[in-house]
């Protein structure tokens, strides 16, 4: 069997002019391949979604390629962690040799995002839940936060610490939407206005354009081109529900099982991890995920935020790009979490580089805490 690895990763966050989804992806892919010394025509695997109904076909046509392997499942925010794992498996099995996982969204400039959510009339979630006036997914994350306050003895001030930490990281990332926005204080979050209590505007992720691409090849090609090799040594996936009434546990999510599986495969514990990239659609998403993966009790996690344990120099540098809360959130953040982890492990990040980072834990959350994918990445060379 071949051995496969992630070799490079790039994010494209356009601020100068609006671009189409095709342009964002082609810019990311072409930049990535140029730097690696690989020709576009040699790409024989592609994973993407959200482009159009025939996402991989349409994107391949735009690029002028005809891949032997494609993947396009829709799992929301965890999709791209799953795609990375599937691409690694495809290269290792010989279905393809050079795979690209790419994503792009122009939801901000195209004004395609609605607070009400994406309605599909035939679904149970539409019939029983959206019919009741929820902002989807916002209100459904808010319901977890409110229950969490009740069970965990925490409050809005505590939750705001997650957003404060993300802003600090964003100030070290020139591509971040909030790079020049200045410091964020807990009170700023509380003053930003309730949207669906207890979540305020600044408890919610950004709505931006953006995207990126990740290159996955077999190790023979990587060695020949002298590319770095980042290994996925563990992966776990759990999809628990899509209708909110069917969520099996509102406080401990599918992240528990997916992370346990990923850590077990890699033979690691959380204490072996150097850097964390955890989906932050909302502040509560981060707290719930960190609690579900067993990092600590929620109240203790809040203390760790207050003590700087998730910032530069802390024990668990978290969402070092600034995350969905302060860097970018182009509809789905999953691929950008992986890209940040890969670049941390490649030692490329200058101001926000975590010194000596060689292991990363990445977690994607999609839907309404519905889909979960956990991934352990390790730098080999």
Q: Is 132 a residue that touches another protein (CB under 8 A)?
A: yes
Q: Cβ closer to another protein: 122 or 350?
A: 122
Q: Is 115 a residue that touches another protein (CB under 8 A)?
A: yes
Q: Is 331 a residue that touches another protein (CB under 8 A)?
A: no
Question: Residue 173's closest CA among 377, 372, 350?
Answer: 350
Q: Is 193 a residue that touches another protein (CB under 8 A)?
A: yes
Q: Is 150 a residue that touches another protein (CB under 8 A)?
A: yes
Q: Is 361 a residue that touches another protein (CB under 8 A)?
A: no
Question: Which stretch in 141-149, 257-265, 301-309, 323-331 sits in contact with another protein by CB under 8 A?
Answer: 141-149
The token pair that represents 110 in the structure block: 């195209």
Q: Cβ closer to another protein: 147 or 264?
A: 147
Which of residues 18, 124, 182, 308 is near another protein by CB under 8 A? 124
Bridge-based pairing state of the strands 359-366 and 275-278: parallel
Instruction: Give the residue carrying structure tokens 């009170």.
Output: 187
Which of residues 6, 29, 36, 134 is near another protein by CB under 8 A? 134
Which of residues 198, 211, 324, 367 is near another protein by CB under 8 A? 198
CA–CA distance, 262 with 328 (Å, rounded to integer):
26
Total H helices, total E strands in the chain: 13, 11
The token pair that represents 113 in the structure block: 């995002």
Q: Is 111 a residue that touches another protein (CB under 8 A)?
A: no
Q: Does an H or E element contain 285, and which?
A: helix 283-292
| Cβ-contact 279, 285 below 8 angstroms | yes
Q: Is 197 a residue that touches another protein (CB under 8 A)?
A: yes
> String of b and e for 192-207 (b: at least 16 CB within 10 Å)?
beebbebbbebbbbbb
The token pair that represents 373 in the structure block: 């994918």
Minimum distance from residue 108 beta carbon to another protein (Å): 18
| Cβ-contact 321, 341 below 8 angstroms | no
Q: Name the DSSP letter for residue 65.
A: -
Minimum distance from residue 94 beta carbon to another protein (Å): 40
Q: Cβ closer to another protein: 64 or 133?
A: 133
Bridge-based pairing state of the strands 69-71 and 45-47: parallel
Q: Cβ closer to another protein: 52 or 191?
A: 191
Which of residues 91, 101, 135, 377 is near another protein by CB under 8 A? 135
Residues in contact with another protein by the rule CB under 8 A = 114-117, 122, 124, 127-136, 139, 142-144, 146-147, 150, 193-199, 243-245, 250
């Amino acid at each position: 069997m071949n051995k496969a690895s992630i070799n490079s990763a790039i994010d494209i966050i356009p601020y100068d002019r609006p671009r189409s989804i095709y342009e964002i992806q082609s810019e990311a892919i072409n930049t990535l391949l140029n730097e690696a010394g690989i020709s576009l025509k040699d790409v024989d695997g592609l994973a993407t979604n959200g482009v159009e109904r025939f996402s991989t076909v349409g994107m391949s046509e735009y690029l002028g390629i005809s891949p032997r392997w494609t993947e396009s499942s829709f799992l929301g925010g965890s999709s791209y962690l799953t795609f990375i794992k599937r691409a690694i498996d495809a290269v290792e099995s010989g279905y393809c040799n050079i795979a690209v996982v790419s994503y792009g969204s122009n939801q901000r400039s195209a004004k395609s995002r609605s607070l009400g959510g994406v309605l599909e009339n035939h679904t149970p979630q539409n019939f029983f839940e959206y019919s009741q006036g929820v902002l989807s997914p916002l209100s459904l994350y808010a319901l977890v936060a409110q229950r969490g306050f009740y069970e965990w003895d925490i409050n809005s001030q505590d939750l705001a610490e997650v957003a404060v930490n993300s802003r600090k990281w964003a100030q070290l990332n020139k591509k971040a939407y909030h790079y020049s926005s200045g410091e964020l204080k807990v009170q700023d979050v509380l003053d930003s206005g309730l949207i669906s209590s207890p979540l305020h505007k600044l408890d919610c992720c950004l709505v931006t354009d953006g995207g990126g691409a990740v290159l996955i090849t077999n190790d023979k090609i990587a060695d020949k081109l002298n590319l770095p090799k980042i290994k996925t040594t563990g992966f776990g996936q759990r999809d628990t529900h899509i209708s909110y009434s069917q969520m099996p546990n509102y406080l401990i999510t599918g992240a528990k099982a997916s992370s346990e599986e990923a850590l077990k495969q890699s033979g690691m514990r959380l204490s072996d991890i150097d850097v964390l990239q955890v989906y932050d659609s909302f502040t509560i998403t981060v707290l719930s995920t960190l609690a579900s993966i067993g990092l600590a009790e929620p109240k203790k996690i809040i203390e760790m935020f207050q003590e700087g344990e998730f910032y530069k120099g802390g024990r668990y540098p978290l969402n070092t790009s600034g995350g969905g809360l302060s860097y970018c959130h182009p509809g789905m953040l999953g691929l950008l979490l992986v890209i940040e982890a890969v670049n941390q492990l490649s030692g490329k990040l200058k101001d926000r580089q975590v010194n000596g980072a060689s292991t990363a834990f990445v977690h994607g959350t999609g839907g309404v805490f519905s889909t979960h994918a956990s991934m352990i990445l390790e730098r080999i060379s």
